[in-house]
Chains A and B, each alone.
Chain A
Amino acid sequence: MKPSAFAYARPRALEEAFALLEKHGDNAKLLAGGQSLVASLNMRLAAPGILVDIGALAGLEGIALKGKTLVIGARTTHRAIERSEIVARHAPLLAQAAPHIAHVAIRNAGTLGGSLALADPAAEWPACCVALEATIVLASKKGERRIAAAEFFRDLYTTALGAGELITAVEIPCAAPEERHAFVELARRRGDYAIVGLAARARVRNAVLAGLRLVFLGVGVTPVLASGAMAALEGRTADDAALRAAQAALDRDLAPSADLYTSAQAKRHMAGVLVARAAAALAG
């Protein structure tokens, strides 16, 4: 399938991009890696009047350490994150999650900022950013603002991005020395969207979990913080009793909907399996 016709602009500076967004409003779509957008254009699920390609904007790409914060430019590809030694050391959750995103050819093009802006409920990066308590940096003609990842995802494919705004970077607090991360997901085939996934993070001392953050993907319209399961595991080792308590708590934490292939009940079961796998990985 071929996209319907659209105009195309490739600004060289942010100000130029802001001017285009202001001029065209809802008729404009930002193009980054295009791995979701071009597919939806091909299927004519989207038909914008103009694509504003941010591929030539300077300063949106790259991974850097600034003090105790990992800063990843919005246009950094999934593959660059997957291959980064700095990411592996300071945000291992991202390094673990990256190989689950689609396939290599897609990871070579798709971007962190693009994934966050789309906010697909089954995507890996939104859940990871919420689990890592990342800050998303937004820019518009009015200047820059920062928003916590947990506040950014508002509803199905809906974010806090306002008119004329784009994501420039993501700031992630570096993992503390005792911190461990685990990313697990279940998909029908390698590279498919997850049915259920879990981004998990905790401080671990003598196999005791503390400061847990468990964030699910694929079970709600946005990433879902499983606060009941987090409380059930807090201060415990990943023993059977603690895992059963956490799994029981998921019944209250999660309200998944059935889709074409998987019932809500099956998703709940899978979420329980993933909590056990993640807790074991964190404690081990």
Chain B
Amino acid sequence: MNEIEATITVNGTRLTRRIEPRTHLIDFLREELGLTGSHVACEHGVCGACTVRVDGEIRRGCLTLAVQADGRTVDTVEGLSDSGELAVLQQAFHERNALQCGYCTPGMLLTAQALIREQPAATRDEIREFLSGNLCRCTGYQAIVDAIETVLRMPRKEVAR
């Protein structure tokens, strides 16, 4: 099947590739670009392990075709780690032991960061609701909610550093 040329800015780097239309964004990032931080699990939009940002908003990497990202900006856990944007959250996940097996963590971090930006006054219930699209099969979620709550309750200056 014919490949399509697409130009995508991934973690700040603009690149042009020929992509088979059926390639998911998440597989393009992982297999073509070697960005294996975002994970693949359910592949039908249920689990959130593949969460990435497209034009600044979180998306399912398995429900987005890579060719749909043509002309757009994509950010992954690697880019947001390097930029330091996730540093406070990552530290809180570490301190609260919110990783367990770690498979869901990249998706959790991106979703949690979206919550921190959009609902800085979120309650524990609202944190759980916002995270409802990210499944952790180690179960519990308690430590994850604790870590996010820790960041939300910090003075804003520290969070934004």
Contacts and interface: CB of A to CB of B under 8 A. Distances in A.
Interface stretch (A18-26, A38-46, A161-169, A269-277): A38-46
B99 interface: no
A57 interface: no
A7 B1 contact: yes
A172 to B, nearest CB: 25
Contacts of A123: none
A42 B41 CA distance: 12
Interface in B21-43: 21-22, 24, 27, 43
A35 B4 contact: no
A252 interface: no
Nearest to A53: B68
A268 to B, nearest CB: 27
Given A42-B62, A109-B64, A102 B133 contact: yes
Contacts of B62: 38, 42
B78 interface: no
B104 interface: no
Interface stretch (B8-16, B51-59, B79-87, B141-149): B51-59
Interface residues on A, range: 20 to 34
B63 A8 contact: no
Given A38-B65, A53-B68, A109 B60 contact: yes
B81 to A, nearest CB: 19
Given A3-B22, A35-B63, A191-B132, A104 B114 contact: yes
B95 interface: no
A42 B65 contact: no
B22 A39 contact: no
A106 B64 contact: no
Given A7-B2, A79-B57, A2 B24 contact: yes
Contacts of A106: 45, 60, 63, 133
Interface string A180-216: 0000000001110000000000000000000000000
Nearest to A51: B21
A218 B59 CA distance: 26
A108 interface: yes
A157 interface: no
Contact of B22 (A4, A35, A191): A4
Nearest to A83: B118
Interface residues of B, number: 33
A103 B51 CA distance: 12
B89 interface: no
Given A7-B2, A104-B130, A105-B133, A39 B64 contact: no
B132 to A, nearest CB: 4
Contacts of B58: 104-105, 108
A4 B1 CA distance: 10
A174 B64 CA distance: 34
Interface string A106-140: 10110000000000000000000000000000000
A235 to B, nearest CB: 37
A34 interface: yes
Interface in A78-112: 79, 102-106, 108-109
Q: Which 3 A-B pairs have the closest CB atoms?
A: A103-B133, A8-B21, A190-B132
Interface of B: 1-2, 4, 20-22, 24, 27, 43-45, 48, 51, 54, 57-60, 62-65, 67-68, 70, 111, 114, 128-130, 132-134
17 contacts: A1-B44, A2-B27, A4-B22, A5-B21, A10-B70, A34-B63, A34-B65, A38-B62, A38-B64, A51-B65, A53-B67, A53-B68, A105-B51, A109-B54, A109-B64, A190-B129, A191-B133
Given A38-B65, A190-B129, 5 more contacts: A2-B22, A3-B22, A38-B62, A104-B111, A191-B133
Interface of A: 1-8, 10, 31, 34-35, 38-39, 41-43, 51, 53, 55, 79, 102-106, 108-109, 189-191
